[in-house]
Amino acid sequence: MSSPTGADPRPEIHRTADGDWVVAGRRCRACAEPVAYAWPRCPACGAEVEVAHFGPRGTVWSSTVVRIAVPGHTPPYALAYVDLDDGPRVLAHVAGDEPAPIGGAAWLIGASDDGDLQVEVAR
């Protein structure tokens, strides 16, 4: 219920020289856990982490369409949890007002004007 001020908690994304969008996150040096965020330690085991890039491709784990008013967002909007290849599970917005096909391919296409991670999905 806090208002969106202060540091942006969403994953930081970069565009590579090849033009691909990737999440700039961390990977655990001990257990290889991928994390979409610049956290100081691995959330799974507490070991040290190093910078790692994930994406752009992944698979839709699940998806829904939010059809109620949520502060700062205009319904309806589609969301998907995407498991980036060899990477973390990230929450992303999907264009349109239909859920993304679960199990289907997804790829990062950048951030929305509001700073939300966006994916395109195979339909």
Partner 1 sequence: MTVAVAGVGTSHFGRQPDRDLVGLAWDAVSEAFADAGVDAVDAVWVGTVFAPAGVAQRVLRAMGITGIPVLTVENACASGTTAFVEAHEAVRTGRYGRVLALGLEQMSTAFAGAITPETTDPEGRAGLAMPAMYAMSAARYLHTGAATPEQLAAVSVKNHAHAVHNPRAQYSGRYTVDEVLASRMIADPLTLLQCCPTSDGAAAAVLTAADGAAGEVVVRGAALRSGAPWNHRSPHVWGHDIVADTTRDALADAGLDAVTDVDVVEVHDAFTIGEIVTTEALGLVPPGDGGKAAAGGVTALGGAHPVNPSGGLLSRGHPLGATGLAQLAEITWQLRGQCGARQVEGARLGLVETMGGGVSVLDGNACVVTVLEAR
User: Given the rule CB under 8 A, which residues bind partner 1?
Assistant: 1-4, 6, 8-11, 33-37, 43-44, 61-73, 77, 79, 81, 83, 87-89, 91-93, 99, 102-103, 115-117
Distance CA 65, CA 96 (A): 9
Name the nearest CA neighbour of 11 among 23, 28, 20, 3. 23
Give which of 6, 8, 9, 16 is closest to 35, Cα–Cα: 9
State the nearest-atom distance from the C-beta of 20 to partner 1, in Å. 20
Q: How far apart are CA 97 and CA 94, in angstroms?
A: 8
For residue 95, give the nearest of 74, 72, 79 by alpha carbon: 79
- Write down the least CB distance from residue 39 to partner 1, Å: 9
Our CB check for partner 1 shows the closer of 19 and 72 to be: 72
Q: Judged by CB, which is closer to partner 1: 1, or 51?
A: 1
* 15 versus 86: smaller Cβ distance to partner 1: 86
Structure tokens, 118 = 């966006």
How near is the Cβ of 25 to partner 1 at its closest, in Å? Answer: 11
Q: How far is the CB of 34 from partner 1 (least distance, A)?
A: 8
Angle (nearest 5°) at CA 74 between 102 and 111: 60
Q: Which is nearer to partner 1, 18 or 74 (CB)?
A: 74
